[in-house]
Amino acid sequence: MMVDFTHMSTIDTSALREAVMRIHPLNDEEMSDFLAVWTPVPAKRKEILTQAGSTETNLYFIQKGVQRLYYLDNEGREATLMFSYAPSFGGVIDSYFTQQPSRYYYETLTASAMLRMSAQDIDRLLSKYPAIEKMIRIGMSGIVSGLMERMVEIQAYSSEEKFRALLRRSPHILQIVPHKYLANYLGMDATNFSKLLNRVRI
Amino acid sequence: MKNQALIQWIEPLEEVVEAHLLKATSVYQNLSEEALSAKPDHDGWSAAQCIYHLNTYSDFYLPRAQKALSRVTPRHDNREFRSGFLGKLLKNTIKPENKLKLKALKAHRPAADVIGATTVAQFIEHQEQWLRLISEVESVNQLDARVESSISFLIRFKLGDVFAFMKAHDARHLQQADRVLATLPEKV
């Protein structure tokens, strides 16, 4: 029987390579081992990729589409914590690295194209290559830094400032994501959000 | 094993929902209240009213389709979906290609003071729920569940027909909304 390698050549890892190089440069061997473990995941709109209570098995690299990480409890309280979009990483990162059950859901908000890497693969690469471990450490610091910045916005900013900060970071998000998710991310109700939208637009 | 015959029925409908969601997120939800509530003429509907009219139907059929779906027994064959007589007739009457002007039933006529932003948000919510139902169809592998109709308690439609005429109806009135929006001057 012939071995079919065709699926390997169709994976476009160029954006992933660039994203990694921006975080911390890897040499050829490290990079080719790192890129070799990713597999493509196409997903439709509103597919739940990780359920709360289950353990995150994948780190995602987003090639197309928008996803969100959110909290939802029995009382119907919902908190959108983060959006992910190309070209960046996504998934329930804490659950992925600790291999403890996730408290959060991770879902697509639009049709998406992603690559994914299993927790076993990253474990093996981290123990084998110090440079990959360093790259991940720097990448994680970037995530922590983004979260801290967001905590400042949540605690200190007015609604309008939060709204403007979101548009500064992601200018096209208003046309891509249903506004209810953006309103939830900013911690305001839909009516308030549309009032701000009308005010800021003019 | 996937049932190709069933997928052939449901996939084009899923694509319609996706297209409507793309349009609602990229265009409708970003329009001003003024644009959404502008009327083409004295008794024509505004874009917001067109969408509101669609919402009244989703409000009716979504919970009933959900109920019908939760009651069926999953099937394991590869049988294709066969449209019922009335379901097919309804779909052919309301599809956008049929230019005949139809009068909306009283219960589904929009009020004069519809709020555009809320209406669009609700439309988006509904479409996401339709997508969820479509994904549930795959696990029961059939579209024959009987759904209570908005016409009479004596009439029930097959779920596959409900999907089809609802999406044809959505397309019809979104096209109407687009025609209204196209007549507006820039920067409304």
Distance from CA of B22 to the nearest CA of A (A): 8
Distance from CA of B132 to the nearest CA of A (A): 8
Which residues on adjacent β-strands are paired with residue A70?
Answer: A80, A105
**Contact A101/B at CB under 8 A:** no
Cβ contact B180:B99 at 8 Å:
no
Q: CB distance A175–B25 less than 8 Å?
A: yes
Q: CB distance A179–B29 less than 8 Å?
A: yes
Distance from CA of B27 to the nearest CA of A (A): 7
Cβ contact A57:A118 at 8 Å:
yes
More confident residue, A198 or B56: B56
Residues in chain B: 188
DSSP string, A130-151: HHHHHHHHHHHHHHHHHHHHHH
- Strand ranges (E), chain B: 146-148, 156-158
Domain positions in chain A are 6-152, 157-202
Which tens digits make up the pLDDT trace of B60-104?
999 999 999 999 888 888 888 888 888 888 888 888 888 777 777
Cβ contact B58:B121 at 8 Å:
no
Q: Which of A47, A108, A175 to mutate to test the interface with B (most CBs of B within 10 A)?
A: A175
Domains of chain B: 4-182 (1.20.120.450)
**Per-residue pLDDT for B185 more than 90?**
no
Could you tell me the two tokens for A184? Answer: 């939830």
Q: CB distance B33–A176 less than 8 Å?
A: no
Distance from CA of A64 to the nearest CA of B (A): 15
Distance from CA of A157 to the nearest CA of B (A): 24
Measure the CA–CA gap between B1 and B148, rounded to whole angstroms.
31
**Contact B21/A at CB under 8 A:** yes
Half-sphere exposure at residue B158, Cβ-oriented, CA atoms within 13 angstroms: 18
Identify the three-state secondary structure at position A45: coil
**Per-residue pLDDT for B186 more than 80?**
no
Which residue in A20, A54, A61, A19 sits closest to A39, CA to CA? A61
Q: Which of B33, B117, B132 is facing A46, going by the closest CB pair?
A: B132
Q: CB distance B29–A46 less than 8 Å?
A: no
Q: CB distance A46–B128 less than 8 Å?
A: yes
Which tens digits make up the pLDDT trace of B122-178?
999 999 999 999 999 988 988 989 998 888 888 899 999 999 999 999 999 999 999
Q: Which residues of B touch A46 (CB under 8 A)?
A: 128, 131-132
> Tell me, what's the ipTM?
0.90
The whole-number average pLDDT for the span B31-38 is: 94
Which tens digits make up the pLDDT trace of B107-125?
888 988 899 999 999 999 9
A54-69 in b/e form (b: 16+ CB < 10 A) is eebbbbbbbbebbbbb
Q: CB distance B18–A111 less than 8 Å?
A: yes
Measure the CA–CA gap between B99 and B172, rounded to whole angstroms.
9
Right CATH for A6-152 from 3.30.565.10, 3.40.50.300, 1.10.599.10, 2.60.120.10: 2.60.120.10
Q: To the nearest whole number, what is the mean pLDDT of chain A?
A: 93
DSSP string, B87-138: HHHHHHHHSTT-----PPPGGGPPPSS--HHHHHHHHHHHHHHHHHHHHHHH
In the A/B pair of chains, how many CB contacts fall below 8 A? 41
| pLDDT for the residue numbered A73 | 95
Distance from CA of A173 to the nearest CA of B (A): 9
Q: CB distance A178–B25 less than 8 Å?
A: yes
Measure the CA–CA gap between A184 and A197, rounded to whole angstroms.
14
Closest residue, chain A, to B27 (C-alpha): A175
Q: CB distance B117–A45 less than 8 Å?
A: no
**Contact B11/A at CB under 8 A:** no
Closest residue, chain A, to B128 (C-alpha): A46
**Contact A178/B at CB under 8 A:** yes
The whole-number average pLDDT for the span A163-185 is: 94
**Contact A171/B at CB under 8 A:** no
Half-sphere exposure at residue B167, Cβ-oriented, CA atoms within 13 angstroms: 24
Confidence of residue A118 (pLDDT cuts 50, 70, 90): very high
